[in-house]
Amino acid sequence: FASSICFGIMLIYKFYKAEVDNVIERKSFNKSNYISYFLFLVFLVTGGVYFVKVCNALPIDYRHSDIVPFVQVMCKRFLNGKYVYSPITEFGYNAAATYLPMHWLPYTVAEIFHFDYRYISYAVWCLASFFLFTRVTKTNNNLRSQILLAILLVGPYYLILINDSGMLTLTVELLIASYYMLLIVGINQKNIILQGLFISFCLLSRYSLVLWLPLAAFILIISNNKAILFKTGLVVVITVTLLYILPFLSKDHLIFYKSYKYYDIAALGEWRSLDGDGHPFQLYQGSGFAYIFYYKLSHMSVEARIKILQMVHFICSLLITVIMGCWYWFKNKYIHYRIFLMGSFKIYLSVFLVLIQVPYPYLMIVGNFVSIAIFYEQLRYRVVYKN
């Protein structure tokens, strides 16, 4: 959490009171580009082969994790013309279909062509990674630098797959991380449609983005980019309407509420699932502060402890956006608005994730890859410090 917060602060500090210009992109390739692209593709292909091997060794099974099986049920319902958000009872218990459309919709490709759903996650991550790498190589001629960037992007993926493959094979978190990587790219894009689509993908996959979006809108207004806000917002509204409101929410206006309540039930189950030391296993994995509320409020019921954490989570997530908004109100002349958008999002996401009610370790993958994407994108800006 500390390193994550510092990452966002240092980004803002680097560009504070500096003249910032976009680095001009090259239109032609040179020898170093071909070599770095070849090595990067080798990294991706090798990682893909290893990923397939790991997936084959661990077939999809709801007894290991119900995340991918739930996605399978929703995809099959969608392709068969059934209502996607009916309760899921296929695994012997009654569960709400909580996943938003972009959490499961891409996997319909795997269902149609009958291959492992988890390959979709890796394929989308490869596309997002290649997009990032391409943008950087267009502004950087140094071969060693390009290779280092390739390692920085692919390295964490390999480390996760080698040390805890379940984070990638039992979940769809790599897909979510890909959306958030594209969100960072979108912040630095001139293409309004891409900006709107990338924001929509994040909105329609997880709720994490919701409290930061008003801050992003405020930043665009203060920085005299109202046209960008209006056009991007229009793309987001159209996308969300077409992918969520019309096909699903219009048929059951309580989908969102039911999903939220089901997360409460799921959290209660995790808080009551104790390990050999008498601690909730998922809370003591070292990836969030939920365990503090469990331990310090032991005189209260589990339900009450969860409610207090939820309240603190909301207040802190909202408060950090207000603080950053106030800072930008007074200091906007000294920081490029795109830099502040990236930095504020990283800081907000750090707070949001560390206070989540069940801090599953795999949720932190998103934060890691957001940092990598920001590191890549900030290299596209030339800094000239003022005297």
**Do residues 100 and 149 lie in contact, with contact meaning Cβ atoms separated by under 8 Å?**
no
The pLDDT, as a whole number, for residue 26 is: 66
Give the tokens for residue 371.
């940092």
Q: Say which DSSP state 247 is in.
A: I
CA distance 323 to 329: 10
3-state SS assignment for residue 381: strand
Q: Which residues of the chain have pLDDT under 70?
A: 23-24, 26-29, 141, 385-387
The pLDDT, as a whole number, for residue 260 is: 73
Looking at the chain, list the stretches that DSSP marks H as alpha helix, in order from N- to C-terminal side. Answer: 2-15, 31-57, 67-79, 101-104, 108-113, 118-137, 143-163, 166-169, 173-187, 192-203, 213-222, 226-240, 255-272, 290-296, 302-331, 337-354, 364-378
Q: Nearest-CA neighbor of 67 among 34, 91, 31, 48?
A: 91
CA distance 300 to 294: 9
Crossing angle of helices 118-137/173-187, nearest 10°?
A: 30
The pLDDT, as a whole number, for residue 301 is: 94
The pLDDT, as a whole number, for residue 5 is: 95
The pLDDT, as a whole number, for residue 97 is: 87
**Do residues 155 and 174 lie in contact, with contact meaning Cβ atoms separated by under 8 Å?**
no
CA distance 110 to 309: 38
**Do residues 309 and 355 lie in contact, with contact meaning Cβ atoms separated by under 8 Å?**
yes
The pLDDT, as a whole number, for residue 24 is: 66
**pTM value?**
0.94
Q: How far is CA 153 from the centre of its chain?
A: 15
Q: Nearest-CA neighbor of 352 among 323, 318, 375?
A: 318
